[in-house]
Amino acid sequence: MVQTSEFVRKQIEAMKADVFELGLFRLANPVDRREAEMLPRAWDSETLLRSIAWLRLENMRGRNIYIRPQGEHHLSLVDDLSKPAIDRMKAEGFEPAAIVETSPRNFQAWLNHGERLPREVGTVAARALASRFEGDTKAADWRHFGRLAGFTNQKDKHRQPNGLFPFVRLIESTGVVYREAGRFVATVREQCERERDARRKRESALAYTPIPEGAEKSIEAFRQNSAYGGDGTRVDLAYALYAICRGISAEDVSTALRTRDLSHKGTERRQEEYIQRTVKKALALQQSQSRGR
């Protein structure tokens, strides 16, 4: 208990967030038909430290303990790193603020940029770092969970011969801003701006993509148009912009978008949020084009 408390205290001090989001994740169990479940909490440092006994109990019951700063923040998590990759990070001026060994010879590193990054910039930064140091690019975004040190890694593949699971260990917790932060973040911001410009140009051109004659106002015509390469998201926005520019109501556009299987977007609420975002973006583009005429 004392060692766990010390690991947790040092890690959260190195991460330097006002409020942390905790995720207590239990894997699915096909034997008893138990579904995967995430139990979320949002705590300041004091509350987190007071809750260690409860976290240990939930960990013993099979939940993995994860942590991240709440909201936009100054950190990037790089997951699935090797020891040579960690050494290279330090040599190249990307010294981690905290290093966690999540399983034997496998590491996560939190890098402190020295400033809060907007979501888009944070995601691009995390992906660039993961790519540069051969981390997990699929786990790279602005708010990915990392493991909290002092608790066991409950994944079955890490179960030891004695039946126990390995502890997540805190290797370093300096909290430093890495030397290359200024140059790296500036490069990432420039990349984000270039990507935004390219995206605006693509979106502005969507309304003028030709569709088969006689198929006006049909979303199916857009879905069959090879110009979109089968990209459902591009098709949805192109149709929404086309339809709104021709006087079709936002409600009717939303109805048309729902005719596609959106289950990959998540729950029904997330699917509806995606539809509303698409319509809102199309409306904004239509207004922008009107002002430009």
Give me the tens of pLDDT residue by residue for the chain, a chain 293 residues long: 679 999 999 999 999 999 999 999 998 777 676 788 999 999 999 999 999 999 999 999 999 999 999 999 999 999 999 999 999 999 999 999 999 999 999 999 999 999 999 999 999 999 999 999 999 999 999 999 999 999 999 988 888 888 899 999 999 999 999 999 999 999 999 999 998 888 777 666 655 555 544 445 578 888 888 888 888 999 999 999 988 888 888 888 998 899 888 988 888 888 999 999 999 999 988 887 666 54
The reported pLDDT for the residue numbered 95 is: 98
As a whole number of angstroms, the longest Cα–Cα distance in the chain is: 73
Q: What letter does residue 167 receive in the DSSP assignment?
A: B
- Please report, as a single letter, which amino acid is at residue 217: K
Identify the residue whose tokens are 């240990």: 56
| pTM reported for the whole predicted model | 0.73
Give the whole-angstrom CA distance, residue 55 versus residue 220.
51
The reported pLDDT for the residue numbered 120 is: 93
Phi–psi pair at 213, nearest 5 degrees: -60, 135
Domains and CATH numbers, the chain: 2-186 (3.30.70.1790), 207-292 (1.10.1240.50)
What is the number of residues in the chain? Answer: 293
**Two tokens, residue 23:** 């995720």
Contact 94, 86 (CB under 8 A): no
Exposure string of 192-226, with b = 16+ CB inside 10 Å and e = fewer, is beeeeeeeeeebeebbeeebeeeeeeebebbbebe
The reported pLDDT for the residue numbered 214 is: 45
143 CB neighbour count, 10 Å cutoff: 17
Q: Residue 202: in which H helix or E strand, if any? A: helix 181-206
The reported pLDDT for the residue numbered 215 is: 45
